[in-house]
Amino acid sequence: MLRFASILVFALTCVFPTMAAAWHIGPNFGFSHVSSSDVFLYNWGSGTNFLGVSQPGMRLGWSIGGRKNELYTATGLDVIRGGTETDFGVTATLNYQRNFDGNAFITGGVGVFSVGNGSTTATVPVYGGGIGYFYPIASGHGRFRWEVRLDRQAKDQNAGLPATNLVTARLGFDLFSDQ
């Protein structure tokens, strides 16, 4: 996996030098309210929110034509193993963010959520969007950000995973490579 990531970074640097130079990375911390007709949970963290523990997610993004438009991936992974049983939750989304003057932004994206154990696995689509605000720090080398999102997670009837709405408040910071 590390070898693949190294090759990808090298290829982006050679083929798309301006895109490769304008990336940012940072964690997501948050509080989620998950609701459906069958499930009602509050979770802290913005990983997968599968285990309900405080665990950050990771955000990796690229600026497109300056810092007004951004593409970013938001990911999370939870794994717990006890004896012979391993439970996991994985989420990955691809998002677009439009930044406005005054540091406000809107964002929307699509992705997948996968949850499982040794005998059952379910992977369902997730989509949604939100609004937020960021505050530049370190002479423009980074930013603090907050965001409120509404996402919809589809159901997998075979695995017993209900459709849910996720209302999330996220906090995070990003470090920029293009300054």
The pLDDT tens digits for 153-179 are 898 888 777 888 888 888 888 988 865
Enumerate helices (H) and strands (E) in the chain, giving the number of each: 2, 9
Domains of the chain, start order: 22-176 (2.40.160.20)
In this prediction the pTM is 0.77
Element spanning 5, H or E: helix 2-15
The pLDDT tens digits for 6-49 are 555 555 455 445 444 478 898 887 777 666 655 545 444 445 55
Q: Any idea which of 18-22, 53-57, 105-109 has the lowest mean pLDDT?
A: 18-22
| Long-range contacts, stretch 30-35, CB < 8 angstroms, 24+ apart | 30/57, 30/168, 30/169, 30/170, 30/171, 31/168, 31/169, 32/166, 32/167, 32/168, 32/169, 33/166, 33/167, 33/168, 34/164, 34/165, 34/166, 35/164, 35/165, 35/167
Closest CA relative to residue 169, chosen from 46, 55, 30, 45? 30
